[in-house]
Structure 1
Amino acid sequence: MADDSTAGARDTVLGLWAALSKRDWDAVKTFLSADCIYVDMPVGATAAARGPDDIVKRLKVGLEPLAGYQNHDGLLVANGSDVMYEHSETWRWDSGETAVLQFVSVHRAIDGKVTLWKDYWDMGSLVNQAPPTWMDDLAAADTSWIFDATGRI
């Protein structure tokens, strides 16, 4: 049986992902601490986001333009405040392309808030499945959210 901190961390992470799957940006923010750091590990720590508002800005870069987005539950392993979540996401564009991406997300959740969130996934897989314009669209996106988390994660 999980201790209270493990159960709370697990519930926080699952709540975050349920809100994200709905792209309910206001709800996503409620699961993030004021100083939470989010990093797409294939991109690196120099392009992290920090805090609920900037993390949501960062998430919107990839997810908001999609015609459809869904998170698919998978294995979740929790130990105290540390939670690893193996899951997949389906991305669907208006142009008809669909990508299924495999993820491992590592979280630290304390007192009902995620304080650290690192996503591990295959950038090449996404690029190969995305529309030809996706990289250009990404390059033109708002990057005001960028936070250099080098040495902090």
Structure 2
Amino acid sequence: MSIEQAGETTDIETTVSSMWAALSARDWDGVKRRLAPHCIYLDMPVGPAAAARGPDDIVKRLKIGLEPLASYANFPGLMVSNGVDLMYEHHEEWHWATGESAVLQFVTVHRVEDGLITLWKDYWDMGALANHAPASWLADFANADMSWVFDATGLV
């Protein structure tokens, strides 16, 4: 299924792939450009009560985990789409300046409407991250700016 956007034909696989390429490069403006103003992002291990809504707050949320890393990369995998919803199997590699690293397996669900991502749900094993992250990681997360928190209970 293709969607006309600003004179270009964009399918949902292209929209999602380009958002992940921007995220892998930590191109925060590039990520924002692919998110609808009302987009909801949530890590499923945490649940909908700690979601983020809108491009600015979603990027605030993403930066908490990714900005402190020495390196971060997303490695593409299988995409399956029904034309609006897309499931994406992929993995990420996280490396901290202190030498720790983690490989995280993900299945992500996106909904794309009018060429923009309106829903982003990440399914992954938080224990895989906690077991490999530096001891300070959870404390740093707990002390981060949490102004992005949006309760999406009942919306996703």
Coarse TM-score class (shorter-chain normalised): over 0.9
Q: Secondary structure at the match of 1:106?
A: strand
Scaled by the length of structure 1, the TM-score of the pair is 0.96
Q: Secondary structure at the match of 1:14?
A: helix
State the match for 2:73 in structure 1. 70
State the match for 2:111 in structure 1. 108
Q: What is the identity, as a one-letter code, of the residue corresponding to 2:18?
A: G
State the match for 1:4 in structure 2. 2
> Counterparts of 1:66 and 1:15 in 2: how far apart (Å)?
21
Say if 2:60 is the partner of 1:57.
yes
| Equivalent runs, 1:2-151 vs 2, <5 Å | 3-4=1-2, 8-151=11-154
Q: Secondary structure at the match of 2:131?
A: helix
How far 1:4 moved relative to its partner? 2.2
Structure (1 or 2) with the greater helix fraction: 1
Q: Secondary structure at the match of 1:132?
A: coil
Which segments of 5 or more consecutive residues in structure 1 lack a partner in the other structure? Answer: none
How far 1:118 moved relative to its partner? 0.1
How far 1:112 moved relative to its partner? 1.2
Q: Deviations over 1:126-146 (max 9, x none)?
A: 000101111111111110000
How far 1:111 moved relative to its partner? 1.4
> Counterparts of 2:125 and 2:40 in 1: how far apart (Å)?
20
> Counterparts of 2:153 and 2:124 in 1: how far apart (Å)?
19
Identity %: 64
Which segments of 5 or more consecutive residues in structure 2 lack a partner in the other structure? Answer: 4-9
Q: Deviations over 1:72-107 (max 9, x none)?
A: 011111111100000000000010001000000000
Structure 1 stretches (4+) deviating beyond 2 angstroms? none
> Counterparts of 2:61 and 2:94 in 1: how far apart (Å)?
16
CA RMSD of the aligned region, Å? Answer: 0.9
